[in-house]
Amino acid sequence: MIPTQALRTTFLGELRIEIAGSHIFGATPMGQARRIDYFESGHLQGPRIDARIIAGSADALLHRFDGVIQPDVRLTLEISGGHHLFIQYRGYRHAAPEVMERIAQAQAVRPEEVYLRTALFFETDSTAHDWLNRTVAIGVGRREPQAAVYDVYEVL
């Protein structure tokens, strides 16, 4: 079957999430481990958006039995004018075991060593950014020692 329409995207911005700390669980029925990361700073910056992460955002990471890390993130950001932006995303992170261990030890890894992809959904009270309420985006991520960074693309 030939697709009738190719997937098109446009760059939305860089999402940078600075990790403030973590709560680490042992094994649960859902996976090898659960880790709750909490964030106090970061941003989503691009041609049409400039927003700052505010405290209270978190990621309920699940380390699955097959070795895949599954982010489950809720972010609250502030946009100019006192408006807010809520972002939810889920995705997958996996790499060779030695690369995953370096990430766990907060060591730098090259972006091409890790598969990190997410699907983002938005909610905002900003009329200037109302278009986000109807937008699905894909994040292509990289892991830095104290941050997760994504190039975010609006799916057209």
Residue 78 sits in a domain whose CATH number is 2.40.160.20
- Give every residue of the chain whose pLDDT is below 50, as ranges: none
CA 140 to the chain's CA centroid? 9
- Asked if residue 149 is part of any domain, the answer here is yes
Query: Total structural domains in the chain?
Result: 1
pLDDT at position 5 = 85
- Asked if residue 119 is part of any domain, the answer here is yes
Reading the block at residue 127, the tokens are: 């009329």
- Asked if residue 1 is part of any domain, the answer here is no
pLDDT at position 127 = 95
- Asked if residue 3 is part of any domain, the answer here is no
Q: Where are the alpha helices (DSSP H) in the chain?
A: 97-104
The pair phi, psi for residue 38, each rounded to 5°, is -120, 150
The pair phi, psi for residue 102, each rounded to 5°, is -65, -40
- Asked if residue 76 is part of any domain, the answer here is yes
Residues near 108 by Cβ (< 8 Å), separated by ≥ 6? 102, 144, 145
Domain range enclosing 39: 9-155
